[in-house]
Structure 1
Amino acid sequence: MNASLYIKIYNDLKEKITAGVYQIGDMIPPEKELTELYDVSRITIRRAVTMLAEDGIVERKSGVGTFVIKDCQAERPNKFIGLILSGLTDSYGKHLLQSIIATADARGYELILKLTEEDSEKESGLVDEMIALGVSGLLIEPVQRNFYNTTLIKHIYAGFPIVIIDKELQGIDSLFVGSDHYKGAQDSAQMLIDNGHKNPVIIGYSEVRNSTLEKRIDAFTKTYWQSNMPFAAQNIARVATSTYLSTDIDTLQKDVCLIKKTLQKFKPSCVVSLDAHLTGLVQQALWELDLRYPDDISLFGFDSANSSFIRTNYTHLSQDEETIGSKSVEVLDKAIRKVPIKNHRLLIPATLKDFGSISILNYTF
């Protein structure tokens, strides 16, 4: 379902109620009529009407219809929510932000956006700053690190409405909305196995550890083990020292050289990069080694095809940023309104996108 569609329909119905097209006590058109009016599915209409009901604007009466119970001409409540992102890249973040903004607006919230630039101290300060400003709730994508932010944990345990996006806090009972990284990586590994790749090498970071990256590694490792192809130490190369924020050419080139040495030493049939920045480094390494994919070596990556060095399509696992964005605001809205939330972990399926960078090997298992 296209999240922007039901939000647009929600806003349109709300505007009609505000304009008096549908007044208090009036029944809005039934689902069938609305599907024809907006040329969308019943699921989309049902989602838009559910939002109106959750806002207390309409009320469903079983077997009768949906009626307007609130005058929308009243001033929209002045509500603020905070959004703290670790950063924005071409590969991940743009569509997420657009979806969050659209859904927040539809829910009547003003958004305050801050970026941590992967600085844990800055993240702690921004969490406290947002709460001190009086935001009703907080959406946060944690920075990439090996430990949890104690300031953030403190506010979660204190009961402040906080939804974690993308990088789950393992062992912490927090509200989380993000991709199902484990299942996506399992499917990706199985795809490589089915195509005959016995010895892929995973390119990762030497220092950076977070739940997203580790789940991807763990899923690959277990999937290969279950297929009677155990991963050896050489299959996981934690070599890169740079991140997507790195601008120093010498550091980036050093990482490229380390990747080249890894590929020359182990000669994998496929190289797997854990995120789009790493894929950019891998692409540069392959170019310098005069290796072309898929003819000489296969390439698989996580997240979109926009990379640090070269913008070239490759087969990758794509996250549904739009759904993650809209669902995160919906969950936060429930937390703010103290609506019971049964599922604290909302995992959004990722999608394998084939751009022809994986070869099919001749041998079988």
Structure 2
Amino acid sequence: MNTPLYEKIYVSIINQIQQGLLKQGDRVPSEKDLAEEFNVSRITSKKALDLLAQNKIIERIRGKGSFVAELQSEKMEMSTHSSRLNFTDSKLVGLIIPDFDDAFGLNIVKTIEEKCLQNNCNLIIRRTGGQIKEEENAIKNLVNNGVDGLIIFPVHGEHYNVELIKLVLTDFPLVLIDRYLKGIPASSVCTDNRSASEMLTNYLFSLGHKDVAFLSPSPNGTSTIEERVRGFNQAYSKQGIKLNPDFLLTNLNCSLPQKFYSDKSSDLMNTDYQTIKRFIHENHDITAFIVCEYTLALLLNKVINDLGKKVPEDYSLVCFDYPENHLDQATFTHIRQHEHEMGSKAVQLLMKRLKGEKFLEQTMIDFTFVEGKSTKVKNKLKT
């Protein structure tokens, strides 16, 4: 990979000192000046100055600036010939995520930021909007700007981006969050989605529902959704109940970040609305729904209401994720993912990698089942 930009700044200042352009006591260019000169962010220029100060090449004085320190030949020799700059006191971590909201993701971001600060790390966040090209650009940009490690929430889809594969092949410190990638040997942290989906299905069985539908985006290439579909199928298999394959609707798009934020998002929402409406018309036996994502659960609830039906009187509805509301009972019965634990574990694994530990760990995080107002015993349903 290319030399990180912060390292280029570091070496440039050392060269100026060795050439006599900067002498002991001289003021070193500021973070702002260096950022403009090298066309980088101030985070990058700050990292270079912090590293120079750590190695006692410069002295940073609050409110006054940075100045060339008393020079020692051994110190300069070490700094100049180091094969890899050792930035041990402070690290720069990048978080790449499609997007986040209060239903899922916001608390992960907050926790990662908190844990990075506790580990003396600066955090840069890049949102990709679920676009694989944006994910590639984010990886290249962050690596070129000198991040020491990355936490990546991969985009949906069957294809992995080339830059992500490069990170793995070069053993770059990396942790995946919310999902794992088949065939990619990288440590990951995600919810035990299969068990969670099986629990939701069994809960509906316990209420007397046997004709249960499953709604989601395409599971192809997205381990989170694949595992939820498997859990749904597994629950049916263990109960010895025959699953109608027509009850799986897995081609919805409007909740995917790259679709949700596109210019055609309203068209996609309407397409999914019509698809769900047609699905309900064609499958009269369905009495309950498991919905893979909160946004789709809202859309399904609207379709049901527009058809003159109600949740839970006519249909029971359960889903994954729900905005935290500590004042009222949740409207939807749902699985709450342990976002704080996911974020904490991701940072913990990355810190181990940054210390040079070599390992491959796939961590499954537990979850909480939350009973809301969207489910009802089948034999009490109105006819």
Out of 109, 114, 117, the residue aligned to residue 126 of structure 2 is 114
Out of 74, 92, 115, the residue aligned to residue 80 of structure 1 is 92
Alpha-carbon distance change, 159 to 347 in structure 1, aligned in 2, over 3 angstroms: same
Distance 1:208 1:243 in 2: 15
Q: Which residue of 2 aligns with 1:154?
A: 166
Q: What is the 5 A alignment of 1:51-90?
A: 77-90=89-102
Distance 2:194 2:251 in 1: 22
Q: Where in structure 1 are there 5+ consecutive unaligned residues? A: 1-74
1:350 aligns with 2:367: yes
Distance 1:298 1:76 in 2: 54
Q: Deviations over 1:264-283 (max 9, x none)?
A: 21121101111112112111
Out of 304, 308, 314, the residue aligned to residue 322 of structure 2 is 304
Aligned amino acid, residue 370 of structure 2: K
1:284 aligns with 2:318: no
Aligned amino acid, residue 177 of structure 2: I
Q: Which residue of 1 aligns with 2:51?
A: none
Distance 2:238 2:315 in 1: 24
1:328 aligns with 2:346: yes
TM-score of the aligned structures, taking structure 1 as reference length: 0.73
| Range 285-294 or range 135-144, more displaced | 285-294
Alpha-carbon distance change, 101 to 305 in structure 1, aligned in 2, over 3 angstroms: closer
Distance 2:311 2:217 in 1: 23
Q: Is the 8 A contact 2:216 2:291 kept in 1?
A: yes
Q: Is the 8 A contact 1:168 1:176 kept in 2?
A: yes
Aligned amino acid, residue 118 of structure 1: G
* Alpha-carbon RMSD: 2.2
Out of 265, 268, 274, the residue aligned to residue 257 of structure 1 is 274
Give the deviation of 1:320 after TM superposition: 0.7
Q: Is the 8 A contact 2:212 2:289 kept in 1?
A: yes
1:140 aligns with 2:152: yes
Give the deviation of 1:132 after TM superposition: 1.5
Aligned amino acid, residue 334 of structure 1: K
Alpha-carbon distance change, 259 to 312 in structure 1, aligned in 2, over 3 angstroms: farther
Equivalent residue of 1:205, what SS?
A: coil
Distance 1:347 1:312 in 2: 25
| Range 351-360 or range 110-119, more displaced | 351-360
Out of 193, 200, 207, the residue aligned to residue 195 of structure 1 is 207
Equivalent residue of 1:148, what SS?
A: coil
Q: Is the 8 A contact 1:305 1:314 kept in 2?
A: no
Q: Which residue of 1 aligns with 2:240?
A: 228
Aligned amino acid, residue 79 of structure 1: K
Q: Where in structure 2 are there 5+ consecutive unaligned residues? A: 1-86
Q: Deviations over 1:183-237 (max 9, x none)?
A: 1112112111222111111112258651101110111012101211132221101
Q: Which residue of 1 aligns with 2:14?
A: none
Q: Which residue of 2 aligns with 1:128?
A: 140
Distance 1:190 1:346 in 2: 24
Equivalent residue of 1:225, what SS?
A: helix
Alpha-carbon distance change, 207 to 190 in structure 1, aligned in 2, over 3 angstroms: closer
1:318 aligns with 2:332: no
Give the deviation of 1:150 after TM superposition: 2.6
Q: Which residue of 2 aligns with 1:99?
A: 111
Q: Is the 8 A contact 2:200 2:290 kept in 1?
A: no
| Range 279-288 or range 108-117, more displaced | 279-288
Distance 2:299 2:219 in 1: 16
Give the deviation of 1:140 after TM superposition: 0.4
Q: Is the 8 A contact 1:317 1:351 kept in 2?
A: yes
Q: Deviations over 1:113-147 (max 9, x none)?
A: 11111110111121122112111110000011122
Give the deviation of 1:238 after TM superposition: 2.2
Aligned amino acid, residue 334 of structure 2: H
Distance 2:352 2:221 in 1: 31
Give the deviation of 1:244 after TM superposition: 4.6
Q: What is the 5 A alignment of 1:238-277?
A: 238-245=250-257, 246=260, 248-267=265-284, 268-277=286-295
Count of aligned residue pairs for this structure pair: 284
Aligned amino acid, residue 317 of structure 2: L
Distance 1:157 1:229 in 2: 45
Equivalent residue of 1:222, what SS?
A: helix
Q: Is the 8 A contact 1:204 1:239 kept in 2?
A: yes
Equivalent residue of 1:243, what SS?
A: coil
Identical pairs, percent? 25
Give the deviation of 1:241 after TM superposition: 2.9
